[in-house]
Copies of this chain bind each other. A is one copy, B any other.
């Protein structure tokens, strides 16, 4: 029950994603992105929701991007972030009791 066996290389890979979610700001960013109306959200809507500087938000978004959890697309002056469900589903399955 719960959590399938994971070998060392797999643990190495997946831990990057978990680590990315292991910061309060990033977890909240992820939740805002994943629950966004229309499947995406503008950075300009993310930044004002936090107390930290916009450069810090950018830095966190980069971490989520490099972890494979989100995708970014520039349109005009704005950048929109979108969730990447594949990896999220993989993490979810790993933690689910029936796995």
A residues near B, CB below 8 A?
A: 1-8, 11-12, 14-16, 18-28, 30-35, 39, 83, 85, 88-89, 91-97
Determine how many copies of this chain the complex contains.
Answer: 2
Tell me whether A31 and B6 are in contact in the complex, defined as CB-CB below 8 angstroms, given that A89-B97, A95-B91 are known contacts.
yes
Q: Is the CB of B3 within 8 A of A30?
A: yes
Least distance between A49 CB and chain B CB atoms (Å): 9
Tell me whether A85 and B1 are in contact in the complex, defined as CB-CB below 8 angstroms, given that A11-B24, A92-B92, A95-B92 are known contacts.
yes
The one of B12, B16, B35, B94 that contacts A3, using a Cβ cutoff of 8 Å:
B35
Considering the complex, give the chain B residue whose CB is closest to the CB of A4: B35
Q: Is the CB of A83 within 8 A of B22?
A: no
Q: Is the CB of B24 within 8 A of A5?
A: no
